[in-house]
Amino acid sequence: MTRKQMQKILRRVSWYPPYLGAGIKIKSYDKDFTRFTVEMKLRWYNKNIYGTHFGGSLYAMSDPFFVFIILNYLGKEYVVWDKSAKIDFLKPGKGTVTSIFEISKEKLKSIKNEIDEIGKGTFFFKSEIKNEKDEVIAVTEKEIYVRKK
């Protein structure tokens, strides 16, 4: 995937209704698209009945980024899908929450090598959602399925 194509996808993500409606924003990403920082401010429209972040919005923050990273690295010759997801809520989310999604180049090379050798595989990635005090309020785990086309 070219840099221009990836930037176009990221612009679309910013306008994706669940992201727009929840106030989820891509705060930053690196030039290789291997690291994304995503944030969500607490607003009247993304609060639950307790006045904290709605759990679905917290999960939505983590939804596409590991797939984006892997797909961008591997390219069009591969299929990359979410297979399963899990979120553990540890503390109520208040204020602005942030999550970083990153896969090292070494891990990406390892995934590519494994898929090129075996043909398909499943990989697990975790991310933490933190509050403004840098406390972990939730942990997400994504299971990503990858295969050659």
- How many Cα atoms are found within 13 Å in the side-chain-facing hemisphere of 39? 14
**Distance between CA atoms of residues 38 and 140, nearest Å:** 14
Instruction: Give me the tens of pLDDT residue by residue for the chain, a chain 149 residues long.
Output: 666 776 777 777 777 777 888 889 898 888 888 999 999 999 998 899 999 999 999 999 988 899 989 999 999 899 999 999 999 999 999 999 999 999 999 999 999 999 999 999 999 999 999 999 999 999 999 999 999 99
The model's pTM:
0.89
* Structure-block tokens of residue 60: 């939505």
Q: Residue 1: what pLDDT?
A: 61
**Segment 43-79, tens digit of pLDDT:** 998 899 999 999 999 999 988 899 989 999 999 899 9
Secondary structure letter of residue 29 according to DSSP: E
Secondary structure letter of residue 132 according to DSSP: T
Domains of the chain (ranges, CATH numbers): 3-148 (3.10.129.10)
CA distances from 2 to 6, 31, 81 (A): 6, 11, 19
**Distance between CA atoms of residues 141 and 62, nearest Å:** 9
CA distances from 107 to 49, 112, 131 (A): 40, 9, 27
